[in-house]
Structure 1
């Protein structure tokens, strides 16, 4: 049974404790409810609503990365952060390149 306790201590030391998950869950719920309430109540203009939703989405991505994926600035996570940033770069290149090609094809196909 002592081995089981060591496993939970080791897991908690990497930021995977129940407290961390609960904090992340509560923050994720709050960051979801706020934009939902703004959209349902038509509180702001369309442009402000889109800006708020975009900001909340970016913050929620950070919450998921920190509290659920446990990617932080620690030396143990450096390679994971680098792989994550590289993935974001590649996805960005693919999306922007695809939009660029589709835009140019649309312009060139016009009569």
Structure 2
């Protein structure tokens, strides 16, 4: 089916990605969205380096501030670059993201559990020294 035949019919949902006509306004809006995301990501990175390297911020609050800035950075990347939103057309993207977060959390918890268990079950150094003699 040629492009003109497909255009005559109303079956645009069957078109493959990259086969649609691009409107100049859509392209300009997409570039603007990417530039806004780039600006926000750069700003958050600069602020993170500033917070980590300055004495103007209360020292015990620096890790908390860095975590908050990291979460904001993740949000900027998800929305502006990966286009993951909570809209009805992005359900699969949100589910894939949730599954990825679940896998990362399982790996982190499992690693911490294994390392804690191994540390707890290790023989104290003085007992190990007596075994080698």
Q: What TM-score results when the alignment is normalised by the length of structure 2?
A: 0.70
CA distance in 1, matches of 2:59, 2:22: 47
Deviations 1:22-78 (A, max 9, x none): 110010011111121122222223321111110000010000000000000112211
Q: How does 1:1-111 map to 2 (within 5 A)?
A: 7-9=21-23, 12=26, 17-111=30-124
Work out the number of aligned pairs and report it: 104
Structure with the larger RCO, 1 or 2 (CA within 8 Å, 6+ apart): 1
Partner SS state of residue 47, structure 1 = helix
What residue ranges of structure 2 are gaps of 5+ in the alignment? 1-17, 125-133
CA distance in 1, matches of 2:88, 2:23: 19
Larger Cα-atom Rg? 2
More helix by share: 1
Moved more, 42-51 or 30-39: 42-51
Let me know the Cα RMSD of the aligned residues: 2.1
CA distance in 1, matches of 2:94, 2:68: 21
Q: What TM-score results when the alignment is normalised by the length of structure 1?
A: 0.83
